[in-house]
Structure 1
Amino acid sequence: MPLISHHAAVVFLIAAVTGFLSGGLAHAAGQPWPMAVVAGLGAAGCALPAGHRLIGG
């Protein structure tokens, strides 16, 4: 029996990619690292329910 379902793994993957991209773009735009991390975490947090709804769980 798997630890998490395939649906949950895909949703977490979408959130992680969104967070990394958001944080990287924030840093590339001139934000310091701490602010870029906060932006990435915020984007990942918002992407979790959006990804869950998008995939249809």
Structure 2
Amino acid sequence: MSLTSTATHLVTLAEGAEGGGRHQSLEPIVTGAGALAVLLLLLWITTRFNRDR
């Protein structure tokens, strides 16, 4: 099995060629807002534990 045929097989598998259907993806704005919220929460937690005493 050559590298080219393996790559072709993996791409076909990743595309879901067997079912042929496409799934609905999340909205980019929802994904970005969720990521921003998580990062701000982590920043807030980090600053809470890093206070000078």
Give the TM-score, by structure 2 length.
0.50
Q: Which has the higher helix share?
A: 1
Larger radius of gyration: 2
